[in-house]
Structure 1
Amino acid sequence: MRSCDRLKAERLRLSLSQEELAKLGRVSRRAQASYESGERSPRGEYLESIALGGVDVGYVLTGQHSAEPSVSAQRVADGAPVAATYGPGPGLAEVKLYDVEGAAGAGRSLEGERVEGVIHFPEAELAALGVSAERVAGVKVRGDSMESTLADGDWVLVDLGSRDIRQEGVFLLTVSGERRIKRVQRLAGGALFLISDNEHYQPEMITPQQMGEVEILGRCEVRIGRIS
């Protein structure tokens, strides 16, 4: 079987149309059709994107199925490992991945934003974290301000149901409409400190008068790595 045939087989296995897989790969439907016909060969950026959607890229390229696409995931708070996989399965909750951190957005809702891929977590694992499967989203980290907690290009699982900053931690928030990922510390008098874990960045104080420009979107619970 040719690699183009294996690509089509993976698309059918995931019950995706050509248009849906093209969106995951950030290409046109015409390009997707040309990949499946063997007329053109896909580029690395395309393969990386569809891997996030659950496509077994190793099988597409070599004909050898991956034993199980693995994901490196750890709790943000203490680095404890968390089970996760790119492929769907029984007892697994699907979490959408959005590349939106640092972009202007319309508040806490991510609906309408482009989905870059999906990842799956055991529902029992999310429950143990105190996270509702219906109220989570994966967000891509941009920049190095949160090194070494979160690196540029990481994905982080955000609990959109946890917005209480009295429980200090790392949060996804908006400041004047711009999404950011920062460690948030509440100060006396109602002010906030937005802290970058990279020591080369200075903390930013949000005064009580500026609090109207801040919206807490959710607590960052799990750092998600890449397929290994």
Structure 2
Amino acid sequence: MTEKFKKKSMIGNRIREQREKLGLSRNEMADRLDVSLSALQNWEINEREPQASMIIKIAEFLGVTPNYLLTGEQNQPQEDNGIVTRPFEVLEKECTKQDEVEMLASFESIEVSAGFGSFNVGITKPDGKVPYDSNLLRNLGVKPKQCGVFWANGYSMQPTILDGDQLLVDFSKREVKNNKVYLVQNGDSVWVKRVKIEWDGVELISDNKEEYRPIRISADEAQNLQIIGQVVHIGHSLV
């Protein structure tokens, strides 16, 4: 990787610099964007990169262009064989090709595993939409209208699911089986867990077993337990 590319990929540095120019704390910006503090922190220290739809939202909030966040270049288009393009314009074009992507409902305001936020399939309104590759959805055997996109918050499912990971949930798969991972709700708490049904109740099991014990729900309490859907795909950044 060239030094030039390394500099251009430091999206988090530019997010932090613009936030500080506006005199905003991380808490304030996270609240305004409706994202978790840990997600914003991970972006700013370049542990993870925001999704394309979130980059647009952050740029609007900070008063800069998405192209600037991606490259550090505010108004300098790049030429490629005589065609003038900007990196984010290419990204937007790729994300909106109707024959290649499906726009899925996203629920960024539902803080999965944070013990906050309620959700009802078909009732809770999405916060927006995010693009998903049509071929990927076909390979997974899921239907776009029966899916939703959520974001993990916390460390209880590591190493399978990392803090800030994108979760594709199939609402049609609500039958618990084969130690799969599900999005579940009990009262106002929404978790991503493995689910084990026992004769006297239900156990919600974390993959990070050293730090998180199973959540026991009695048979009576389990009457209010809702299986929102099965997590069928996990997306996270490798940078």
Normalising TM by the smaller chain, what interval?
Answer: 0.5 to 0.7
Aligned to 1:119: 131
Classify 1:153/1:106 alpha carbon distance in 2 versus 1 (closer, same or farther; 3 Å): closer
TM-score scaled by length of structure 1:
0.62
Partners of 1:194 and 1:217 in 2: how far apart?
14
Aligned to 1:197: 207
Aligned to 1:8: none
Aligned to 2:230: 219
Q: How does 1:83-122 map to 2 (within 5 A)?
A: 87-89=95-97, 90-99=99-108, 100=110, 101=112, 102=114, 103-109=116-122, 111-115=124-128, 118-122=130-134
Q: Does 1:160 align with 2:174?
A: no
Return 5+ residue gaps in structure 2 as ranges: 1-31, 34-43, 57-65, 79-85
Deviation of residue 208 (structure 1)? Answer: 1.6
Partner of 2:87, secondary structure, is coil
Q: Deviation above 6 Å: which 4+ runs of structure 1?
A: none
Identity across aligned pairs (percent)?
Answer: 21
1:10-64: CA deviation from partner (whole Å, max 9, x where unpaired): xxxxxxxxxxxxxxxx68xxxxxxxxxxxxxxxx8xxx76832685633774534
Amino acid at match of 2:120: G
Q: Does 1:169 align with 2:190?
A: no
Q: How does 1:12-161 map to 2 (within 5 A)?
A: 51-52=52-53, 57=67, 58=70, 61=74, 63-64=77-78, 65-66=86-87, 69=91, 87-89=95-97, 90-99=99-108, 100=110, 101=112, 102=114, 103-109=116-122, 111-115=124-128, 118-122=130-134, 124-161=135-172
Amino acid at match of 2:77: G
Partner of 2:221, secondary structure, is helix
Classify 1:144/1:210 alpha carbon distance in 2 versus 1 (closer, same or farther; 3 Å): same
Return 5+ residue gaps in structure 1 as ranges: 1-25, 28-43, 70-84
